[in-house]
Structure formats: structure tokens, C-alpha cells
């Protein structure tokens, strides 16, 4: 989920800022180890990212009826990673724990999209975005095994714009 504010710089360029919120959770189990009663050893992995981006869009056809665009910018990604559940140590002891890492990372954002007029002040469209950012994890402080988290990737968005 995100919201953007865009403003015309010149006929073929727009500048804008965006604020988003993304959260995902998935379950995980150990492949080759189970509890003494045969139950799986389960964990819940959760990543939350709050991106704030600033970017510039180039509209090769200018502002008109159909508006394709490409853009580039920079994002500031506030993130929180957690692993909660049962874990196995090097002696095969099973224990419950909650590991948390959080931070803020900066990286590039590249986007491309198209929008179509729907009514006098409405546009609908679609956009793809690619972002690159890596978060540093303090293994001593958090107890996590890794020292980096990849915050980059591709996003596909359905868009709706209101002009005012």
C-alpha cells in the first residue's frame, strides 16, 4: 500500500514523493529435524518495510490522453525483520526464541508505467518498480545468523490517480 504526490516540473518531467507500507509473514520448518513427539519445529518469519521515495518521471509523450513514463529516484527504507518460534542449536537442543533486527537503508529506485484517463480528474494505470537496498544486521546484538538482509526486488502496482 502506498500513496504518492506528483507535480509537473515541465511538460515532460514530473517530480514526486511516495510513502508506503509493506509487510509479509511466512512460516518455516526444519527439513530434517522434528520434536521428540514428531511435531515440526516451526518458526514465523516477518518483514515490514516502510519506504519513503523521491523520484523524477520522464513522460516521452508529455501530459495528454495516454501517458507512458519511466523514472529514477532514491528510497529510504525503514525495515524490521523478526524470527519467532522454535529453533535448534548445534547440539540439537530445541528452544523457543524471538530474534529481531531493524534499521534504515538507502538505495536506488527505477520505475516504468503507463496511465490512462478514466474521467475528468481520474487516471488508472500500472507501474513496475525495481529497488536495491541492503540492511545491515548486528549478529551479536540480534542473535541472528546472517549479517545482511536484501530489501531489493521488483514490484508491480495497479495505480489510480486523482488530479487536483
pLDDT one-digit tens code per residue, 73-116: 999 999 999 999 999 988 888 999 999 999 999 999 999 999 99
Predicted TM-score of the model (pTM): 0.85
- Integer Cα distance of 42 and 85 in angstroms: 6
Task: Let me know if 164 is exposed, middle or buried by CB neighbors in 10 A (0-12, 13-18, 19+).
Answer: exposed
Task: Let me know if 76 is exposed, middle or buried by CB neighbors in 10 A (0-12, 13-18, 19+).
Answer: middle
pLDDT beyond 80 at 3: yes
* Whole-number pLDDT of residue 65: 82
Here the cell at position 164 is: 487536483
Here the cell at position 120 is: 475528468
- Integer Cα distance of 53 and 152 in angstroms: 14
Task: Let me know if 57 is exposed, middle or buried by CB neighbors in 10 A (0-12, 13-18, 19+).
Answer: buried
- Integer Cα distance of 56 and 70 in angstroms: 8
Instruction: Check if the beta carbon of residue 115 is closer than 8 Å to that of residue 159.
Output: yes
Fold for the domain defined by 2-162: Porin (2.40.160)
* Whole-number pLDDT of residue 146: 84
- Integer Cα distance of 39 and 104 in angstroms: 37
pLDDT beyond 80 at 64: no
Amino acid at each position: 500500500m502506498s500513496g504518492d504526490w506528483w507535480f509537473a516540473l515541465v511538460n515532460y518531467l514530473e517530480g514526486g514523493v511516495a510513502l508506503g507500507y509493506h509487510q509479509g509473514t511466512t512460516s518455516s520448518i526444519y527439513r530434517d529435524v522434528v520434536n521428540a513427539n514428531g511435531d515440526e519445529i516451526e518458526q514465523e518469519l516477518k518483514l515490514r518495510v516502510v519506504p519513503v521515495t523521491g523520484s523524477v518521471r520522464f513522460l516521452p509523450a508529455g501530459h495528454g490522453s495516454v501517458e507512458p513514463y519511466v523514472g529514477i529516484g532514491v528510497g529510504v527504507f525503514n525495515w524490521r525483520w523478526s524470527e519467532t518460534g522454535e529453533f535448534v542449536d548445534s547440539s540439537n537442543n530445541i528452544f523457543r526464541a524471538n530474534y529481531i533486527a531493524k534499521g534504515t537503508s538507502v538505495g536506488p529506485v527505477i520505475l516504468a508505467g503507463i496511465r490512462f484517463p478514466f474521467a475528468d480528474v481520474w487516471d488508472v494505470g500500472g507501474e513496475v518498480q525495481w529497488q536495491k537496498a541492503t540492511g545491515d544486521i548486528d549478529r551479536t546484538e540480534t542473535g541472528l545468523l546472517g549479517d545482511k538482509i536484501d530489501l531489493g526486488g521488483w514490484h508491480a502496482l495497479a495505480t489510480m490517480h486523482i488530479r487536483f
